[in-house]
Amino acid sequence: MSPEVFVEILREAMLVVIIIVSALIVPGLIVGLVVAVFQAATSINEQTMSFLPRLIITLLAMSWLGAWLVSTMMDFTLEMVHNIPSAVG
């Protein structure tokens, strides 16, 4: 396997990881920002008020995007399996 092929596989793998993680993290970050602004405006410093909405949104994102996330991972895995002969030979 040449270094260029390895770098290309690593680049594709990192891109898939970034896409999957971003799809789960970004909604939680947005809700966390909104809750933080609300807490700063009202001077409420309750810890569960910032944690619970992020948890709920992350779980909802996982349930809504679950099929897409799994299909993305399966497509990448199948592509890697189909490319084994060209990478080895």
pLDDT of residue 43: 85
Mean pLDDT, 10 residues at a time, the chain of 89 residues:
82 95 94 91 82 92 95 94 81
Nearest to 11 by CA among 88, 72, 69, 76: 76
Domain that holds residue 21: 3-88
The string of DSSP codes covering the chain is: --HHHHHHHHHHHHHHHHHHHHHHHHHHHHHHHHHHHHHHHHT---HHHHHHHHHHHHHHHHHHHHHHHHHHHHHHHHHHHHTHHHHH-
Q: How far apart are CA 21 and CA 74, in angstroms?
A: 15
Domain count, the chain: 1
pLDDT of residue 20: 95
